[in-house]
Amino acid sequence: MQNALHIAWLIPLFPLLGFLINGLGRKHLTKSLIGIIGSGVVLASFVMSIWVFMQVRGGNTHVAEYFNFIKVASLKIPFAFQVDQLSSLFLLIITGVGFLIHVYSTSYMHEEKTEHFGRYFSYLNLFVFSMLLLVMGANYVIMFIGWEGVGLCSYLLIGYWFKNTKYNKAANKAFIMNRIGDLAFLIAIFWIIAKVGNVNFGDVFSFAEQNKFTSADITIITILLFVGATGKSAQIPLYTWLPDAMAGPTPVSALIHAATMVTAGIYMIARSNILYSMSHVTMSIVAIIGLATALLAATIALKQNDIKKVLAYSTVSQLGFMFLALGTGAYVAAVFHVMTHAFFKALLFLGSGSVIHAMGGEQDIRNMGGLGKKLKITSATFWIGCIAIAGIPPFSGFFSKDAILLSAYEKSPVLYGIALFTALLTAFYMFRLLFITFTGKFRGTHEQEHHLHESPAAMTIPLIILAALSFVGGFVGIPEAIMHGGDKLGEFLLPVIKPHEGTPVSHSTEYALMGLSTVLVVVMIIAAWFKFKNYQRTEATGLGKVLENKWYVDELYDRAIVNPLSRFGGFLNGVIEKYVIDGVVNGVGKAVNYGSRQLRLLQSGQVGSYVLLMVLSMLVVFVLQFFLRK
Amino acid sequence: MPINYYIFLSIALFCIGIVGVLTRRNAIIIFMCIELMLNAVNLLLVAFSKMHHATALAADTATTAGTDGQLFVFFIMVVAAAEVSVGLAIIVMMYRNIHSVDVNFLNRLKH
Amino acid sequence: MIAVLLILVPLLTGLAAFFIKNEKQVRSWALLSSLATLVVSILGLAVLHDASYLAYKTEWMGALNSSFSVKLDGLGQVLCLLNAVAFPLIFISTWRSTYRNAYNFFALMLLTQAGMMGVFLAMDALLFYFFWELALIPAYFLCSQWGGPQRIPVTFKFFVYTFLGSLLMLVGLLYIYFHTPDNSFDITSFYKAALTDKEQTWLFWLLFIAFAVKMPIFPFHTWQPDTYEQAPTAMTMVLSGVMVKMGVFGLLRWLLPVLPLSSYSWGDTVSSLAVAGMIYASLIAIRQDDLKRLVAYSSIAHIGLMCLAVFSVNVIGMQGVMIQMFNHGINIIGLWIAVELIERQFGTRKLSELGGLAQKAPGLAIFFVIIALANIALPLTNAFVGEFLMFTGIFTSQATKFNIWFTVLAGLCIIFAAVYTLNLIRKVFYGNTSAAIADAKDIHLNEKFVLGVIVALVFWLGIYSQPFLGVTNKASTDITNSISENPQLQRIFKK
């Protein structure tokens, strides 16, 4: 009992049990029992995770092999878990936020039929299980198992309301786009196997530290892993699935598409930071893609009218920030932002869920307005979430975003400039959302207005807890400039993540940057207030229309990739298969048929012709015999 | 007499027979030509038999070498006789049915 | 002893089945027989794995130096087990189908099984050829007698394709026979045959085409979708689950070790064909509207990957092929069962006319989704282990310079597989219920049992496949070494 690390395997086991019980017993259990089991197992994991976390803080880490998942010739891939600083932190986020969202779901999904309610919770538990596998895996293959597992759960949950074809298509899109990334991840694994001969994190990293990789290898491996991450974490060019994934129930969006699964890519790169630090090419690519995604998604979010779509693009944008941090070498900042983002984005999603719940399924913010008066707790917590994401001190978002901006500044002022601009856009669109939804006059139907009500406690309590976390979450990473030794997170992660070697900026510059961003953010919020406090519906034109249509990227993909491939498949099926290959096959048959029909004419039945033929052929034989005789 | 004379005679008879079979349409003439060919072969057999026997006698007075050729001739003659009887019977039947012995009418084989 | 029993049990019970005229009795008889075979097979795998039980040799055609020599090695173990597992599953799942002249049907099924067992066990080329044909001929009758409306031309195509392949193979085998040191059909003599490069080249193609038709490899595949579509479902399961493995098996036992030089020098050509076929079949599968044809094309793509891995000549890849042969057999039988059920309930196989089945038959939906996802190699399902190993083998292959290209191009099919499989699931199970399924029912107990067994195997082999990999380890190493340790090729394959 001394060491929780030896029973760390219980952490993923609990949700797996929950999945099995809820999945198999969904027809026999009652809703409350399903809810209790579903949330209870995650709570159990959470408690275990805290225990594990305490042990890890004490300096213990642990790698445990359970059995050989694959062992062929020299290739040995154990089924092994690794509990260290990085994974224990993610364990806390996943199980903690996960638990709150499970509790929230018991109320949010209460109108579903018992059977589907059970299905929902079993999927959710399965997701938590896969996610835990992903972060606890001690090698790339186990990580990949979790990686595809979360993709599967995401697919199942996006398509949870399976009667709706549009939702199902969104689910398919999510899975397929993820698979494109997964392929790159797989090839990276093969590459590692080819070079290292095994995939354990420890072996791969020590191999890298001994400089046994060539620089080409390391660049290709890191780029491939990054492509995998762009799929899972919705970065250019594979980001388009995430906004569509909002088809799933809102708690799912909060858990999977905001707080946990989409940060898997960041986890993976942070885990492989030793490899990434060795390739400057990849680092630059990661930073540029991250920043470009952040900016692109932020511009799109400016003009979205679906409450969840705004949050979805905001998520894409924030993930871009995290990749920017990774690309500039600030791994700790990225992980820090993952954590704070998990708090405030889950809060915002759950808040939007509460709004949607109150509005009876309505998601278009143009039909809302003035909800702040009716939904007091939701609105208050939403405010906190928006302030946190906008980055106003001392809310959590400020500290993590500041760390990212700082590392961008260290790398290059241009990166900093664009990142700051994106951060301002973030503040603007988030407060646009806030003001349109919660202030002004109500613009929906009369029935909706009548129906408005604050959500039950099972939904508001998670909101309040998350709001509190969004407020205090940043204090674990107070910059050195403000408080000496305030960067507890960086210290904690030191054994896994090497501090990046940039030229540190002076404290005065750091103060100036913080001040600048804070002031500008406040200005943006005030601008948003004046623009949207009395929102009136208007048609978007010009650039606004392009933004509303998401830069037409989906259409571009359809035209450039999906349709040609599909047409090519049709061509293969309709023409090549039918006429060329089968044509040749049937052609051979026809040729034989035709040939024999022609040959049949020789059989005239005339005795004379037969005899003539016989004599002639005998003559030929004689002649041949005569001439060919040696 | 040199063996060559026999061979040339035999070839001549055989070719006449072949040409006859190929060119004539009357079944009976074709028949006769076939007989001609058979006899050409018979002639050759006898001639060679005689030749081999003569050379063998020089070495050994009691030899029977070469006589088997003459034996074959008898076989061929028997077979030819049997064939003639069956063949003529067929021709007679044919004549009764189609009142002709022209072989070009006999093209039923193609069906 | 075990090896002989594996052939004799289905052979004798099959012959006896011709005389059981009562349909119900003959059905039970066939099931019992297949269960007995399964027991024998498991005995051979788990209990009596002493060499004396697994091999048997006796005089057969002494004049030709051919003997009745059978042996159950690692490769044979896996395939015989697949063969033995497949038939009970097939019989149980099609328990409710009725057949004209049922006694003939079941007798021919059992004879097919016996033939395939013989193929997997034979250690003598003539015996191998004999069983190869023995498996083919009942299959021909099964398709042509109990198939769909287009069965006659389709079966004819199937027959001509496979028979042509068989004849080419026979020529090849005879030629090798005359060049063995002791003029013997025994496999060990075949491995020692003295053949020049040139001879190996054309012999390689003779044999490869025979096996390629069976697998099938692009462009020898067009018989397959047609036959799968028209054959009775039980036969389709046999064809796709077990019989296509005869092709892969042929490569592993009779091609690579016998003709190592040409297998190496033509490896790139064959691999390119396999990759092209994979992409080709996947793209066609995306556009298919017919359920059966879709599954057929997906099977072509999966077999292509196996062929690619075989020619990577790498122990890891070889192990992947071994385990994947079993996995693919199990998974595709599961898919066919589901397809059959769907067709029976809707009366149509057109994706465009289906929809919403998940509401009417949730049990079927769950099983189908699990098996379909296993088919696209989701981790923790059996196919992941196989495909992961195969891809690793292809990527780390020393037999080709294009290993990265092959991996990437074959990898594209992972994505395509997701596309067509998810589309299939969406169109059949999700969405609103179509009018056709107003009175659809969920699955029966027998089907539930079979699908349950398959799903259990899917997870067992997906999570803990080590026992399985242990069985085939030696066979994989031997086959790989037959090429990589060939004196003329050694310098290419560095350790």
Q: Do A72 and C411 touch (CB under 8 A)?
A: no
Neighbours of C473 (CB within 10 A): 18
- Whether residues C315 and C198 share a domain: the answer is no
| Residue-level pLDDT at A571 | 86
State phi, psi for C256 to the nearest 5 degrees.
Answer: -60, -50
Residue B110 confidence class, pLDDT cut points 50, 70, 90: low
From chain A, the residues in CB contact with B18 under 8 A are 615
Q: What is the 3-state secondary structure (H, E, C) of A511-535?
A: HHHHHHHHHHHHHHHHHHHHHHCCC
From chain A, the residues in CB contact with C395 under 8 A are 187, 190-191, 193-194
pLDDT tens for each residue of C29-79: 999 999 999 999 998 888 766 777 788 888 888 788 888 988 888 899 899
- Span C459-484, mean pLDDT? 89
Interface test with A, best of C286, C460, C480, C484 (most A CBs within 10 A): C286
pLDDT tens for each residue of A337-349: 999 999 999 999 9
End residue of a domain, out of C232, C255, C278: C255
CB B50 within 8 A of CB B66: yes
Q: Do C280 and A183 touch (CB under 8 A)?
A: no
Q: Do C396 and A179 touch (CB under 8 A)?
A: no
**Interface contact C379, partner A, CB < 8 A:** yes
From chain A, the residues in CB contact with B20 under 8 A are none
Q: Say how far apart CA A554 and CA A594 lie, in whole Å.
A: 53
CA A301 vs CA A287, A345, A423, B5: distances in Å: 21, 15, 12, 115
Q: Say how far apart CA A43 and CA A53 lie, in whole Å.
A: 15
Long-range contact list for A538-546, CB < 8 A, 24+ apart?
A: A540/A303, A544/A303
- Checking if the pLDDT of B97 tops 60, the result is yes
- Name residue C390's amino acid: M
CA distance B110 to chain A (A): 4
**Interface contact A223, partner C, CB < 8 A:** no
CB nearest to B22's CB, from A603, A604, A611: A611
| Residue-level pLDDT at A630 | 63
- Whether residues C351 and C449 share a domain: the answer is yes
| Mean pLDDT (chain A, rounded) | 88
End residue of a domain, out of C204, C231, C255: C255
- Span C365-392, mean pLDDT? 91
CB C93 within 8 A of CB C23: no
CA distance C478 to chain A (A): 12
State phi, psi for A304 to the nearest 5 degrees.
Answer: -80, 145
| Residue-level pLDDT at A185 | 94
**Interface contact A612, partner B, CB < 8 A:** yes
CA C253 vs CA A12, A157, C260: distances in Å: 43, 46, 11
**Interface contact A614, partner B, CB < 8 A:** no
Q: Do C316 and A190 touch (CB under 8 A)?
A: no
| Residue-level pLDDT at C342 | 84
Give how many domains chain C has, as a whole number: 2
Q: Are strands C55-61 and C66-71 parallel, antiparallel or unpaired?
A: antiparallel
Q: Do A605 and B107 touch (CB under 8 A)?
A: yes
Q: Are strands A75-83 and C55-61 parallel, antiparallel or unpaired?
A: unpaired
Q: Which burial class, exposed, middle or buried, applies to B84 when counting CB atoms under 10 A from its CB (0-12, 13-18, 19+)?
A: middle
What do you get for the CA distance between the two ends of chain B, in Å?
52
Q: Say how far apart CA C198 and CA C205 lie, in whole Å.
A: 11
Buried b (16+ CB within 10 A) or exposed e, A310-339: bbbbbbbbbbbbbbbbbbbbbbbbbbbbbb
Q: Within A233-306, where are the H helices?
A: 241-244, 250-254, 264-271, 273-277, 280-301
Domain hosting residue C147, numbered range: 1-255
Structure-token pair, residue C454: 């398959």
Q: Do A606 and B104 touch (CB under 8 A)?
A: yes
- Whether residues C248 and C333 share a domain: the answer is no
Residue recorded with tokens 């009018």: C435
Instruction: Judge whether C362 lies within some domain.
Output: yes
User: Cis ω on the peptide bond leading into residue C379 (within 30° of 0)?
Assistant: no
Structure-token pair, residue A31: 């809703």
**Interface contact B106, partner A, CB < 8 A:** yes
CA C60 vs CA A599, C65, C68: distances in Å: 43, 8, 5
Range scoring the smallest mean pLDDT among A151-155, C156-160, C324-328: C156-160
What is the DSSP secondary-structure string of C278-343?
HHHHHHHHHT--BHHHHHHHHHHHHHHHHHHHHTT--HHHHHHHHHHHHHHHHHHHHHHHHHHHHH
Q: Do C411 and A569 touch (CB under 8 A)?
A: no
Q: Say how far apart CA C229 and CA C130 lie, in whole Å.
A: 28
Nearest CA in chain B to A601: B110
| Residue-level pLDDT at A2 | 54
Neighbours of chain B (3+ CB pairs under 8 A): A
pLDDT tens for each residue of A206-231: 998 888 888 899 999 999 999 999 99
**Interface contact B18, partner A, CB < 8 A:** yes
Q: Do A152 and C429 touch (CB under 8 A)?
A: no
From chain C, the residues in CB contact with A585 under 8 A are 157, 161, 222
Using CB atoms and an 8 Å cut-off, which of residues 547-606 of chain A contact chain B? 603-606
Q: Say how far apart CA A262 and CA A264 lie, in whole Å.
A: 5
Residue B55 confidence class, pLDDT cut points 50, 70, 90: confident
CB nearest to A573's CB, from C288, C319, C415: C288
From chain A, the residues in CB contact with C361 under 8 A are none
User: Cis ω on the peptide bond leading into residue A499 (within 30° of 0)?
Assistant: no
Q: Do B22 and A612 touch (CB under 8 A)?
A: yes
- Whether residues C326 and C431 share a domain: the answer is yes
Interface test with A, best of B15, B16, B18, B91 (most A CBs within 10 A): B18
pLDDT tens for each residue of A36-71: 999 999 999 999 999 989 888 888 888 888 888 888
pLDDT tens for each residue of C17-30: 999 888 889 999 99
- Whether residues C282 and C249 share a domain: the answer is no
CA C318 vs CA A334, B9, C394, C397: distances in Å: 42, 77, 10, 11
Alpha-carbon torsion angle C143, C145, C147, C149, nearest 10: 130
End residue of a domain, out of C201, C222, C255: C255
Q: Do A607 and B18 touch (CB under 8 A)?
A: no
- Whether residues C240 and C325 share a domain: the answer is no
**Interface contact A180, partner C, CB < 8 A:** yes
**Interface contact A68, partner C, CB < 8 A:** yes
Task: Give the H/E segment covering residue A366.
Answer: none
pLDDT tens for each residue of A182-207: 999 999 999 999 988 889 998 999 99
Beta bridge partners, C61, equal C66
**Interface contact C272, partner A, CB < 8 A:** no
**Interface contact B7, partner A, CB < 8 A:** no
Q: Say how far apart CA A172 and CA C419 lie, in whole Å.
A: 8
CB C221 within 8 A of CB C281: yes
Alpha-carbon torsion angle A128, A129, A134, A138, nearest 10: 140
- Checking if the pLDDT of B111 tops 70, the result is no
pLDDT tens for each residue of C198-255: 889 999 999 999 999 988 888 888 888 889 988 888 999 999 999 999 999 999 999 9
Of A258, A72, A262, A45, the residue nearest A150 (C-alpha) = A262
**Interface contact B104, partner A, CB < 8 A:** yes
Whether pTM > 0.90 for this model: the answer is no
Q: Say how far apart CA A399 and CA A337 lie, in whole Å.
A: 8
Q: What is the 3-state secondary structure (H, E, C) of A329-347?
A: CCHHHHHHHHHHHHHHHHH
From chain B, the residues in CB contact with A604 under 8 A are 107, 110
Three-state DSSP state, C13: helix
Q: Which CATH architecture fits B3-106?
A: Orthogonal Bundle (1.10)
CB C136 within 8 A of CB C235: no
Structure-token pair, residue A380: 């208050």
Range scoring the smallest mean pLDDT among A599-608, C21-30, C319-328: A599-608
Instruction: Judge whether C490 lies within some domain.
Output: yes
**Interface contact B1, partner A, CB < 8 A:** no
**Interface contact B21, partner A, CB < 8 A:** yes
Neighbours of chain C (3+ CB pairs under 8 A): A
- Whether residues C282 and C364 share a domain: the answer is yes
For chains A and B, CB pairs below 8 A equal: 26
Buried b (16+ CB within 10 A) or exposed e, A512-535: ebbeebbebbeebbeebeeebeeb
CB nearest to A606's CB, from B21, B107, B111: B107
Q: Do A603 and B109 touch (CB under 8 A)?
A: yes
Q: Which burial class, exposed, middle or buried, applies to A65 when counting CB atoms under 10 A from its CB (0-12, 13-18, 19+)?
A: middle
- Whether residues C224 and C282 share a domain: the answer is no
- Checking if the pLDDT of A494 tops 80, the result is yes
pLDDT tens for each residue of A427-479: 999 999 998 888 888 887 888 888 888 888 888 899 999 999 999 888 888 88
Q: Say how far apart CA A248 and CA A234 lie, in whole Å.
A: 16
| Residue-level pLDDT at B108 | 65
Residue C436 confidence class, pLDDT cut points 50, 70, 90: low
CB C138 within 8 A of CB C115: yes
**Interface contact A163, partner C, CB < 8 A:** yes
Residue C407 confidence class, pLDDT cut points 50, 70, 90: very high
From chain A, the residues in CB contact with B37 under 8 A are none
Q: Say how far apart CA C445 and CA C443 lie, in whole Å.
A: 7
Q: Say how far apart CA C379 and CA C386 lie, in whole Å.
A: 10
Q: Which burial class, exposed, middle or buried, applies to A538 when counting CB atoms under 10 A from its CB (0-12, 13-18, 19+)?
A: exposed
| Residue-level pLDDT at A1 | 43
Task: Please tell me what DSSP assigns to residue A62.
Answer: E
Residue recorded with tokens 């099977």: C299
- Span C310-320, mean pLDDT? 91
CB B88 within 8 A of CB B31: yes
Q: Where on the phi/psi map is residue A333: left (φ > 0), alpha (ψ -120 to 50), or beta? A: alpha
How big, in percent rounded to 5, are the helix, strand and coil portions of chain A? 75, 5, 20
CA C136 vs CA A290, C12, C111, C128, C242: distances in Å: 58, 18, 10, 12, 12
- Checking if the pLDDT of C495 tops 60, the result is no
Nearest CA in chain A to B110: A605
**Interface contact C477, partner A, CB < 8 A:** yes
Q: Say how far apart CA C319 and CA C474 lie, in whole Å.
A: 10
| Residue-level pLDDT at C442 | 75
Question: Do at least 3 CB pairs under 8 Å connect B with C?
Answer: no
Interface test with C, best of A22, A71, A72, A168 (most C CBs within 10 A): A72
CB A263 within 8 A of CB A322: yes
- As a whole-number percent, the residues of chain C with pLDDT over 90 amount to 45
Q: Do A183 and C411 touch (CB under 8 A)?
A: yes
**Interface contact C209, partner A, CB < 8 A:** no
Please name the residues in contact with A69: beta carbons below 8 A apart, sequence gap of 6 or more. Answer: A77, A78, A79, A141, A142, C463, C464
CB A343 within 8 A of CB A470: yes
| Mean pLDDT (chain C, rounded) | 89
Q: Do B25 and A608 touch (CB under 8 A)?
A: yes
- Whether residues C233 and C351 share a domain: the answer is no
Neighbours of B8 (CB within 10 A): 10
Neighbours of A458 (CB within 10 A): 16
Residue recorded with tokens 């994974």: A87
State phi, psi for C350 to the nearest 5 degrees.
Answer: -75, 125
Q: Which burial class, exposed, middle or buried, applies to B54 when counting CB atoms under 10 A from its CB (0-12, 13-18, 19+)?
A: exposed
Of A367, A347, A350, the residue nearest A448 (C-alpha) = A367
